[in-house]
């Protein structure tokens, strides 16, 4: 896929692309550490193209880590954690 969502099979998929799937991602988003950072990086980009819900999973939230996050990022994570998605079109990761 190209950056705009188009591909060799569907070159018109870029602008105005309307995805039919959404993603619910399970990861230690509020815990800090390597996998947390990686998961935040992925969903930060993914939320630009499809609906995403995040679920804290795998470790306890770390209040010290959360207090150190930029307010915009913390806000985006909290919003993604309360997003409701249609079960019939949601992929769990």
State pLDDT tens for residues 31-48: 999 999 999 999 999 999
By DSSP bridging, strand 22-27 and strand 52-56 are: parallel
pTM exceeds cut of 0.85: no
Q: Are 27 and 57 in contact (CB under 8 A)?
A: yes
Q: How does the average pLDDT of the chain come out, rounded?
A: 87
Q: Which residue has the higher pLDDT, 2 or 48?
A: 48
Q: Which run of H or of E encompasses 22?
A: strand 22-27
Beta-bridge mates of residue 26: 55
The Cα 2–Cα 6 span in angstroms is: 5
Give me the percent of the chain exceeding a pLDDT of 90.
76
pLDDT at 1 over 50: no
């Amino acid at each position: 896929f190209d950056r705009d969502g188009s591909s060799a099979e569907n070159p018109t998929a870029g602008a105005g692309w309307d995805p039919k799937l959404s993603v619910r991602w399970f990861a230690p988003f509020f815990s800090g550490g390597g996998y947390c950072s990686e998961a935040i990086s992925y969903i930060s980009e993914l939320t630009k193209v499809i609906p995403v819900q995040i679920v804290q999973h795998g470790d306890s939230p770390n209040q010290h880590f959360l207090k150190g996050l930029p307010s915009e990022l913390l806000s985006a994570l909290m919003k993604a954690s309360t997003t409701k998605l249609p079960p019939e079109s949601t992929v769990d990761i």
